[in-house]
Amino acid sequence: MNASSRPIGVFDSGIGGLSVLQALQNALPHEHFVYLADNAHAPYGEKTDLQVRLRTHAITEHLLAQHQIKALVVACNTATAAAIHELRTRHPQLPVVGVEPALKPAVALSQTGHIGVMATRGTVASDKFARLLDSVEGQAQFTVQACNGLALAIEQSTLPQHADEAQQGIIELLSQYTSAMGSFGKSPGQMDTLVLGCTHYVFVKNQLRALLGVDVQLVSTGEAVARQTRRLLEAAGLLRSDPGPQSAAKRIGLFTTGDLRGLQAAAQLWLGLPPEACHKAPPQV
């Protein structure tokens, strides 16, 4: 297979990374993608660094061996923080793109100079996030909130048997965490910008807007990740020049280590993909 014809691998602890896949599709319409949701081991944000690193390496090896990926997008803030440097060391020829909370774009957008950040406990506690926060020291005031349970509730909201309960749980958690952070709005001292520091949180933007109002800007990372992926592929001469004969749906393969129904529901809801685009990952992953 021609190197440029190989797919781009994308993975997350669950369905949150579909928000990044959506941005990648928009920016790279000719590319083929393989997405792996590690639902059986989610949420990463509440696991140890070692556990997350082991899962990251296992998934990367699987995507390389079984799908011959030409690039890897780690569509998970927690996995990026825990394992991105090791991945690049182990696979120096593989273009690897990670995600991180969009603090720098938020600084450029904020008018009040007070920015909220919602992320998983694993991301907030990581050295990588501490360095990122240090890099914008003095440029704005940041209020950081670890949101235990929120990514899991978003995962469960796609499962019919848990949907109603999970939706109620999402509202309660968002209300609890945003209240704990303080006052949002455009007045001096208020937070006028909120960074969504977990890819899952993009899918509850509407609920957040209902709580915070239309004046608060919500900032996520998908578009920036897609731009960086395109830059790396161009630099390596790996950009695909045409999509081939397959339909858009056939150019994307979605896999899960967990409940297939949840991935199917999320893919249909957020990407407009049919259930047959989703598959169970092999048990050894």
HEC string of 143-206?
EEEECCCHHHHHHHCCCCCCHHHHHHHHHHHHHHHHHHHCCECCCCCCECEEEECCHHHHHHHH
Mean pLDDT of 44-50: 92
Q: Do 41 and 66 touch, CB atoms closer than 8 A?
A: no
Instruction: Give the chain's mean pLDDT.
Output: 95
Q: Where in the chain is the domain with CATH 3.40.50.1860?
A: 3-99+223-280, 103-220
- pLDDT digit string, tens, across residues 178-235: 999 999 999 999 999 999 999 999 999 999 999 999 999 999 999 999 999 999 999 9
Q: How confident is the model at residue 248 (pLDDT cuts 50, 70, 90)?
A: low
Query: Any catalytic annotation for residue 198?
Result: yes
- pLDDT digit string, tens, across residues 252-284: 999 999 999 999 999 998 899 999 999 999 999
Q: Looking at 198, 224, 266, 278, which residue is catalytic?
A: 198
Q: Looking at 23, 76, 191, 278, which residue is catalytic?
A: 76
Q: Do 40 and 224 touch, CB atoms closer than 8 A?
A: no
d(CA 178, CA 72): 33
Mean pLDDT of 135-144: 98
Token pair recorded at residue 9: 């691998």
Q: What is the pLDDT of residue 160?
A: 77
Q: Which fold has domain 103-220?
A: Rossmann fold (3.40.50)
Mention the CATH class of domain 3-99+223-280.
Answer: alpha beta
- pTM for this prediction: 0.92
d(CA 183, CA 191): 6
Q: What is the pLDDT of residue 158?
A: 86
Please check the confidence at residue 65 and state whether its pLDDT lies above 80.
Answer: yes
Query: Any catalytic annotation for residue 76?
Result: yes
Q: Do 81 and 221 touch, CB atoms closer than 8 A?
A: no
